[in-house]
Amino acid sequence: MIDDFLNMVKELQKKIEYEEETTYSKIVIREYRNPTNFGILEQPDSIGELTGICNDTMKIMLIVKNGIIDDACFWTDGCGATIASGSMLMKMIKGMATEQAWHISKDDLLKELDGLPKEHLHCAKLAVDTLHSALKQLNK
């Protein structure tokens, strides 16, 4: 009986992985399975927090030194596509001038992720909009 249950779980896991691999790029899968810079920064210089159209919330925290993003972290309660978007965006902006970060678009992020399915494009938009919100806080 336990063996039957364990076999069922293995089969279900294979099915989930197959569906992921046919839906998402390898980069998206890597980023949401092992996100980098996920968490909370102690004493950030700026925080942006937004809720997207699907009710996912994202928070981006920045530490900026001499106009350069020295450290960046994100937190989200969202889906895998939102996690992947936040993770990749943090990789993109670390070490970048804040003025340059203002110019990052949803399309730039989607290119780095090797795309997202149409129904998840809003996840990349949420990440970029949250970054812009955090950058606005630096100027206040």
Q: Which helix (H) or strand (E) holds 37?
A: none
In this structure, the dihedral spanned by the alpha carbons of residues 29, 34, 37 and 38, taken in order and rounded to 10 degrees, is: 90
Reference 61, options 44, 77, 76, 78; nearest CA is 44
- Domains of the chain plus CATH, in order, are 2-138 (3.90.1010.10)
Cβ–Cβ < 8 Å for 109, 124: yes
Walk along the chain (140 residues) and give the pLDDT tens digit of each residue: 788 888 888 888 888 777 887 899 999 999 999 999 999 999 999 999 999 999 999 999 999 999 999 999 999 999 999 999 999 999 999 999 999 999 999 999 999 999 999 999 999 999 999 999 999 998 76
